Amino acid sequence: MTASSNHKRYRGVFPVVPTIFDEQGCLDLDGQRRCVDFMIDAGSQGVSILANFSEQFLLSDEERELLTTEILKHVRGRVPVIVTTTHFSTKICAERSRRAQDQGAAMVMVMPPYHGATIRVAPAGIRSFFQQLSDAISIPIMIQDAPVAGTPLPATFLAQLAREIEHVAYFKIETPQAAAKLREMIELGGDAIEGPWDGEEAITLMADLDAGCTGAMTGGGYPDLIRPIIDEYVAGNRSSAMEHYARCLPLINYENRQAGLLTAKVLMKEGGIIRCDAGRHPLAPVPPAARAGLIELARGLNAKVLTWAR
């Protein structure tokens, strides 16, 4: 079957929205709204909330629900919103996903069930998990294939899930040799693979575009720099896309290898969009040298994040 064939196909740049805290580690909803407004104004074609780069693993269930409600309400349909609903429990993941759908989520993103370093689920259990999730909702499901889950998801298995489970249609591939995996998955899954997507801060974006990816879930700090890469590539201007990619690759690399998941918040604070760029304890702050290097690279690229609020 063609998964989720009644839905619009989502493509382009869908960055992760960071969760904004104040100096006491409480949610800063005003800052959260400014963050979302910037990301939309900077060219995001959609946004993703409650992802790992949103510090979702540091949020209570009540905070997750509050953020989902407030962000979807604030976006007001300006762009599609992907809500991460990952949980080990099939029941809880399905309940989270139904609530997100009822509030207007365009899609849910889910990792395979895992816990800690050793508790994993066999392929048959993973298939049952996603089948029950699909039965519970009517919007597309994106499977997040990330090393953090510690669960091997071969391209053959992902293609099988896409062919056999109605709403499993999108795949965010963040594993080593992502391009090769995307290429194999697309070949095996055919039309059932509605959205083969790039992840990991776009560090492999050009190779993944060449492999057939149609979307990118990046960090949230500079969608204005990522968007031209995909726009030019889709328009058939591969050499121009490569020029844009080469231009901002040092910044992408710095996010991926130095500043990590706090990158977007560091840049947003520097640009006056938010007041506090801290992660929630026990996350360590970005070291001063890494912070300075990140801002230097973003300034050299005239990143919109540094001027949007001025």
Q: Catalytic residue positions?
A: 172
Neighbours of 261 (CB within 10 A): 19
What are the φ and ψ backbone dihedral angles of 216, each rounded to 5 degrees?
A: -140, 125
Q: Encode burial over 212-237: b for 16+ CB neighbours within 10 A, e otherwise.
A: ebbbbbbbbbbbbbbbbbbbbbeeee
Residues β-bridged to residue 216:
13, 198
Find tokens 């580690």 and name the residue.
25
Measure the CA–CA gap between 128 and 10, rounded to whole angstroms. 25
